[in-house]
Copies of this chain bind each other. A is one copy, B any other.
Amino acid sequence: MSGGEENLLKLVEADEPEENDYHLQEQVGFILRKAHQRHVAIFAAHIADLTPPQFAALAKLRDIGETSQNQLGSLIAMDAATVKGVIDRLKARGFVELSKHEVDKRRLLVNLTAEGRDAIERLIPVAREITEETLAPLSAKEAATFMRLLAKLA
């Protein structure tokens, strides 16, 4: 029972076998946040005049055509408050137009304008480059594995 015993006891005290140290840098949430930050920076470097959420809205509208604002939001993972701001700004830019649903008067329909369609068609090839650059630190095989696992977490 020589020196250092107290510290050792402290370590073993807890119910679970927890280490005394905690490394923020190794936590999935912290790294996830950094990886997302890096992606956004790559996106901004390629597409300066549109944010990732704005791009997502246009890309989804291209896929499915006219939809209600909330429906669009749920498809691109934005709550009602967030999607409203995104759509407002896209409307101000002339990329989407809004109209009222004839039958269900609660709904606000969103659709691409010709300009919005041109923009998204033009940007999709750039978006492919952004995806490529984001995944560049990984080999093709690693990238495939990563995408598979990431999808499970999302």
Contacts and interface: CB of A to CB of B under 8 A. Distances in A.
Interface of A: 14, 16, 18, 22-24, 26-40, 43, 52, 56, 59-60, 62-63, 76-77, 124-125, 127-128, 130-131, 134-135, 137-138, 142, 145-147, 149-154
A29 B131 contact: yes
A30 B58 CA distance: 13
A148 to B, nearest CB: 9
Given A33-B36, A77-B34, A146-B146, A63 B24 contact: yes
B27 A154 contact: no
7 contacts: A22-B63, A22-B127, A28-B146, A39-B153, A142-B152, A145-B145, A146-B149
B138 A152 contact: yes
Given A146-B146, A153-B146, A154-B38, A135 B28 contact: yes
A18 to B, nearest CB: 7
A35 B131 contact: no
A35 B124 contact: no
Given A24-B60, A149-B142, A33 B18 contact: no
B138 A153 contact: yes
B77 A28 contact: no
A32 B39 CA distance: 9
A151 B18 contact: no
A153 B124 contact: no
A24 to B, nearest CB: 5
